[in-house]
Structure formats: C-alpha cells, structure tokens
Structure 1
Amino acid sequence: MVDDGTYTAVLDRVEDDLAVLVLESDREAGGILVVESGLLPADGQHQDALFTVEVREDELVDATYHSERTRQRQESAQSRFDRLSERPDRDE
C-alpha cells in the first residue's frame, strides 16, 4: 500500500502493458506502484523516465513527465560510471 501524496517516480520497467514505478518522497523510498502503462504520458513510457506523480487510495491520479530532468539524471549516471571505469594512475 502506498500512502496518499505526491512523489517523484522513476519508471523501472514495462511488462505486459503494466508500468512499474519506484516512488520516492523527500529522497526516501516511498514504495512501488504498478499502473497501466497507458496512464503515463506517451513520451515518458521508457525505462528510467522521471515523473512527478500524485497517488490517492493506491491509484495514480496524475503523472507529469520531466524530460529534461530525465536526461540530466541519465547523464549524471553515465558520468559516474565513466569515472568509476577509468583506470587509476600507476602512481596512486
């Protein structure tokens, strides 16, 4: 059960027309919400898409896709991965 409220949500995956959203509230895990993928904005129906969602009585009331925040988050993750995959200098 997910508490009523507004969350940041990341689309984890879509399976059989169901979207699995991982919810965060003030950087705390808020749970998982499974909804019909058609309830999400079409341009955000891809893995790692970032949304602001409103949940009431375990139902999705509203979802707003954030394309720029999604892009920034993906770039940040890629940058961290690139830094971690670099070989350290032999002197270190």
Structure 2
Amino acid sequence: MLDGTYTAVVDRIEEGTATLELEAEGDLYALEVEASELPPEARTPDAVLEITVADAALADVTYEAAETTDRASEAQRRFDRLSKRPPRDEE
C-alpha cells in the first residue's frame, strides 16, 4: 500500500480488528487496524474516514460524519427505488 492520505470506509470490525477499504491508484486495498485506533463514532461498518498511511500503517484518522450520513442516505434512496414494485401494464 502506498503512503498518503485516502478516503476509507470501515468494512467490518471483528474481535477488535477493523478492516478499512480504500482505493489507491486504481487498486482496492484492505487495511487492518486495531478498532481502538479509530475514533469511537467511527467504530461501525460503513463509517467514512480520511486516513493517512505512513510505512504501511495508520498514521492519522478523521471520522467524516457528513460523508457517512450522505452515503447512508443515498444507499437508502437507491434501496427504496429498487424495492418499489414496477407498475402493471393496466396501471
């Protein structure tokens, strides 16, 4: 993984380990860190973070509350659209 600053999403937290997913130079990466390294409000799946990676390790992390909310709202809107029943021919 390349050192730098990225947008990451918490994929899962299992047994105290958080798996973050991020994209760098067109490739997808998973970075595993101790969940305790994340801000408390970011210790949940789908939380959006701005992270800095140095020497292949998490150097800094910021929870992006607004981006997390925006992504969740957009996902819900897509789900709602998909779950609507298509009209019948006679409707």
Normalization by structure 2: what TM-score? 0.91
**Distance apart, 1:30 and its partner CA:** 3.6
1:14 aligns with 2:13: yes
- Counterpart in the other structure of 1:72: 70
Q: CA deviation at 1:40?
A: 0.6
Tell me which amino acid in the other structure corresponds to 2:31.
Answer: L
RMSD: 1.6
Work out the CA distance in 1 between the residues paired with 2:48 and 2:23.
11
Q: Which residue of 2 aligns with 1:40?
A: 38
Instruction: Give 1 or 2 for the bigger CA radius of gyration.
Output: 2
Please report how far the alpha carbon of residue 60 of structure 1 lies from its aligned counterpart in structure 2 after TM superposition. Answer: 0.1
1:51 paired residue number:
49
Contact 2:2 2:24 in 1 (8 A): no
Q: Determine the C-alpha separation between the residues in 2 that align with 1:29 and 1:16.
A: 27
* Long gaps (5+) in structure 1: none
How many residues end up aligned between the 2 structures?
90
What TM-score results when the alignment is normalised by the length of structure 1?
0.90
User: Match of 2:68, SS?
Assistant: helix
Moved runs in structure 1, 4+ residues, more than 6 A? none
The amino acid of 1:21's aligned partner reads L
Residue identity opposite 1:71 in structure 2: T
Confirm or deny: 8 A CA contact 1:8 1:53 kept in the other structure: yes
After superposition, what is the alpha-carbon deviation per residue over 1:23-56, rounded to whole angstroms, capped at 9, x for unaligned?
Answer: 1247x44401000011111111111000000001
